[in-house]
Amino acid sequence: MKSRRLAWNAVKALVKGVVGVLVLVAISKFTAPFSEVLPNYGLTFNFFAIFFILLMVASELFSGTIVCHVLNIAGSLLMMGYFLYAFSSSVIVINMENMAFMVDLRIIFSIAVMLSLVGFAKALLGLVGYLAENVKMEGKTLKA
């Protein structure tokens, strides 16, 4: 029974990995014209996306274990770190013929960091819940 569950988790992880890579390729194709405006965007985004896909696949593979919760925490910390790294270049200037557009992304990155913080709290609470379910008290009772 356990091998059947492991095989099912492996199939789900494989499907999620393939879908994640296909989405990454599609996003890379659509954002290729912006390489002039954001020269380092392609490398940093692809590195982030590949690492995030690997964490997602590993988390699905170890579903139902403590490793899954630890990988979810690592993924949310990765998201926060990526957004904080991207925060350093949050003002974009786009020059078009005789006009210049300046886009300030600090508010959007701040919202993204706060949402990542909520994801971190959710993953941490999932870990605490998992540990609370699997702790055997052996006759001891908790007193409030």
C-alpha closest to that of 94 among 83, 110, 105: 105
- Asked whether residue 143 is assigned to any structural domain, the reply reads no
pLDDT of 137 > 70? The answer is no
94-128 tens-digit pLDDT: 777 788 878 777 888 888 889 999 999 999 999 99
Beta bridge partners of 101: 94
Residue 136 falls inside a structural domain: no
Determine, yes or no, domain membership for 93. Answer: yes
Q: Could you give the C-alpha distances from 89 to 13, 49, 105, in angstroms and in order?
A: 34, 19, 9
Q: Phi then psi for 77, rounded to 5 degrees?
A: -65, -35
Number of structural domains, the chain?
Answer: 1
pLDDT digits (tens, 9 = 90+) for 31-81: 777 777 666 677 777 888 888 888 888 888 888 888 999 999 998 998 888
Domain that holds residue 77: 2-131
Residue 12 placed within a domain: yes
Residue 69 in any domain: the answer is yes
| Domain-located, residue 35 | yes
- Report yes or no on 74 lying in a domain: yes
Q: Is the pLDDT of residue 143 over 60?
A: no
> What is the pLDDT at residue 73?
93
Domain contains 73? yes
